[in-house]
Amino acid sequence: MSIQDRLSAVEKWHAPRFQPLLMGLLERRSPVYVVGGAVRDYLLGRDRYLTDLDLALAGPVLPLARELADRCGWAFYPLDEERDVARLVRRLGNRENGTVLVCDMARIRGGSIQEDLRGRDFTVNALALILERERPPELLDVCQGVADLEARLLRRVTPRSLVEDPLRLVRAVRLKAQLGFQIEPETRFQIRQLAATVTKASPERVRDELWKALAAPGPADTLEELRHLVLLRTLLPELAATVEVPQSWPHYLDVYRHTLRAVHFAEQLRHWLRKPSPQTAEVLAPGLAETLAPWRASLQAHFNENMAGGRRRAFWLVWHALFHDVGKAQTHTLQVREDGTVRHRFLGHDKRGAALTAQRLRALQFSRREVLLGQTVVRHHMRPLLLHNRAHGEPLSRRSLFRFFRDTGGKLLGPLTGVDVLLLSLADFQATYPRLEESDWPEFLAHVGQMLAFAFQEDGLQTVQAHPLVDGRTLMARLNLQEGPEVGKLLRKLLEAQAAQEIQTPEEALALAEQWVREEEEAGD
């Protein structure tokens, strides 16, 4: 249906999941106005799975919202007592994968619904559906929002709109990414003028807008739009610093352009993980879908994990790609070769990048687990390629595979964080070469496949970690050792030997540990 078709059918608007709440509300107060994104998305035909509803009504709101929440079985949160804003939340399904419905109820601002709409951010959001008892819904458009919807334009409501709330500068970019709209020229000009004021918005709100923007299609284009609007240097200064930082072959792009390419390939992987199909596999590089396919179910389960606040691992792939080379701007040096040519070097950029990543994610108020995930993946993003290069065409040893996953895992993140590193490495590799035919891509894929097999197959990583051949108590009793770091060191070495299949029984493990202790004592003598 077109926008005009939906306008003609606006009297049939309804939100089934919210209907009991709306009916209860209208029994007590009328009219009620549906405002913001729900109206916009209805006219665009994007409301099939509506989960967020914003309502404006005459006050007082908080007591009424609390009463409705109790009656309808929703959770109640007073968002802003001074402005009389409440949030009602209801979860459908289980806690991990269920749908969360959110209804925000606010007192009408400015004395009338017309003034309330004129105080909003963009014209396409300054629309309202009027709900009254025993009357069909009716559209209210006081800012020509419908015309801008049809033109696919994001336009500020007034010049004050962007000044009053600097977060709206980022929201413009987010809505452009989500809706596929263009930002109207005068609005673009004002965003550039006000870009530095975005620091006045709370970090949590900035985080949420950035997350939504980069979760939408085309995250590389979104980052470029942030750069053109002068927002990148404030929001992600570490990435902005990589613009025009040159690199040597096989890189053919500067660090920033290379990063955008890596983000693009990370998005392809994210899309395949969420919706694996022949269509999503077609856009992947040659051989990549075939390498990933045997582990599709395991990969989906891993990347569907909710890290915090509904933010799932799959969507972190783009953020890993975004940050993976930010350390290069601060570690860039030049090496003059004997033939007079210059090589660009970035020694320690992985370690420096990990520190910068953690710093930025903390500043954006991401959770501790999310900060550690980003830091860990950036710190180890070069290891798959280093393992590949050192293998010289031979299969990777089980010992090296175990060490990789051991070093990239941990109690807080889980043992499979190395899989996140692997997928980033795939995106990074593709972004490095102008043409994959000029690289050893098939050989690299073979090693990645071997690493995924070790991560997910029955006799691989998780079996070794879940079923060590001996424990600390047994080791101390057999070797007459006191509790201390020596026992931990022996256990780590035994796990490596078990992973390498050099030992297969508890007796073999104890005998090997005895041998190591004896050799160490003899070396000390």
The confidence score (pLDDT) of residue 446 equals: 97
Token pair for 69: 């929440």
% of the chain surpassing 70 pLDDT: 99
Domain topology for 152-235? Hydrophobic Seed Protein (1.10.110)
411 pLDDT band, cuts 50/70/90, is confident
The confidence score (pLDDT) of residue 97 equals: 62
**Residue 127 main-chain phi, psi, to 5 deg:** -120, 150
481 pLDDT band, cuts 50/70/90, is confident
Query: Where would I find the H helices in 73-144?
Result: 113-118
299 pLDDT band, cuts 50/70/90, is very high
User: How many of the other CB atoms lie within 10 Å of CB of 331?
Assistant: 15
Q: Taking the model in full, what pTM does it have?
A: 0.92
Mean pLDDT over 494-501 rounds to: 86
Task: Tell me, rounded to whole angstroms, the distance of Cα 431 from its chain centroid.
Answer: 19
Average pLDDT value for the chain: 93
94 pLDDT band, cuts 50/70/90, is low
Mean pLDDT over 244-259 rounds to: 96
User: How many of the other CB atoms lie within 10 Å of CB of 60?
Assistant: 10
Distances (CA, A) of 229 to 20, 61, 183, 203: 43, 38, 11, 19
Instruction: Write the pLDDT tens digit of every residue in 420-446.
Output: 999 999 999 999 999 999 999 999 999
pLDDT at 525 over 60: no
The confidence score (pLDDT) of residue 463 equals: 78
Taking only Cα atoms into account, the Rg of the chain, rounded to an integer number of angstroms, comes to 28
The confidence score (pLDDT) of residue 501 equals: 86
How many Å apart are CA 489 and CA 507, to the nearest integer?
18
100 pLDDT band, cuts 50/70/90, is confident
Three-state helix/strand/coil letters over 460-481: CHHHHHHCCCCCHHHHHHHHCC
Instruction: Write the pLDDT tens digit of every residue in 42-90.
Output: 999 988 888 999 999 998 999 999 999 999 999 999 999 999 999 999 9
Mean pLDDT over 339-356 rounds to: 95
The confidence score (pLDDT) of residue 483 equals: 85
Token pair for 356: 């910068």
Question: Each residue of 431-466: b (16+ CB within 10 Å) or e?
Answer: bbbeebeeeebeebbbbbbbbbebbbeeebbbebbe
The confidence score (pLDDT) of residue 278 equals: 86
pLDDT at 232 over 90: yes
The confidence score (pLDDT) of residue 141 equals: 96
Mean pLDDT over 390-409 rounds to: 93
Which of the 8 DSSP states describes residue 326?
T
Q: For domain 3-151, give the CATH superfamily.
A: Beta Polymerase, domain 2 (3.30.460.10)
The confidence score (pLDDT) of residue 93 equals: 74
Mean pLDDT over 118-137 rounds to: 95
Q: Is 93 left (phi over 0), alpha (psi -120 to 50) or beta?
A: left
Q: Of 322, 321, 302, whose CA–CA distance to 312 is shortest?
A: 302
pLDDT at 31 over 60: yes
How many Å apart are CA 298 and CA 75, to the nearest integer?
34
Mean pLDDT over 330-349 rounds to: 92
Write the single-letter amino acid at 301. A
Mean pLDDT over 231-245 rounds to: 98
User: How many of the other CB atoms lie within 10 Å of CB of 306?
Assistant: 12
Sketch the domain layout of the chain as residue ranges: 3-151, 152-235, 249-463, 468-524
Helix (H) or strand (E) holding 167: helix 167-179
